[in-house]
Amino acid sequence: MPVGRKEIEEFEQYLLFIHRARQLSVTFPGCDLALRILPDGQAGCWAFRLHAAKWLPLTASGYEIEYDLLVSTLDSGLRAAFTPPLIMSSGPRHSSASTAPVDMSLHKLRFIEAKLRITPQETAKAWKEFSQYFAGSAVLQNIPAAYGEALLRRADAAK
């Protein structure tokens, strides 16, 4: 995963803490939510009973599937748990986000906004809060400046 992509995911999850805080505490009772960071859960690491899948209104067509699973679980009022992966590759791995992490992240952000039913302006406001909350930390320092700049330009253009 490219430098900054994991940290951008922290911002994407931060949006959940702002817009779905109550649902997070119900859906993930086993997670410590005080730090406003969920465990690193790729799509295969969030567990729920298979029969519950029929209540998940999944709409992702690709890279955004993890977020779709999270928000759909929250919106459905289901309970879920983080399960650490049983097997992790020890060799190099490649993600489609590696080729253009900022562009892929902005594309994913459009999906996130639609899923959370928020505007680019609300996202920009959350970005400013996130930047203040994580000021001076590695989380913020690793996010490419181009991501934050593009995010704020999107909000201005959408006015």
Residue 96 corresponds to which amino acid?
Answer: S
pLDDT score, position 24 = 83
Read off the pLDDT of residues 116-141 as tens digits, 9 standing for 90 and up.
Answer: 999 999 999 999 999 998 899 988 99
**Closest CA relative to residue 1, chosen from 99, 95, 138, 64:** 95
Taking the C-alpha atoms of residue 21 and residue 38, their distance in angstroms, rounded to an integer, is: 12
Give how far the C-alpha of residue 80 lies from the chain's centroid of Cα atoms, to the nearest Å.
16
Q: Calculate helix-pair angle for 101-116, 145-157, nearest 10 degrees.
A: 40
pTM of the predicted structure, to 2 decimals? 0.80
Q: For residue 125, give both structure tokens.
A: 């406001």
Q: What is the pLDDT along the chain (159 residues), one digit of tens a residue?
A: 566 788 888 899 889 888 988 888 788 776 666 766 676 655 556 667 778 878 888 888 887 888 888 888 888 888 777 776 666 555 555 555 556 778 888 999 999 999 999 999 999 999 999 999 889 998 899 999 999 999 999 988 887
**Whole-number Å distance between alpha carbons of 59 and 8:** 21
pLDDT at residue 113 in the model: 95
Query: Which residues are bridge partners to 7 per DSSP?
Result: none
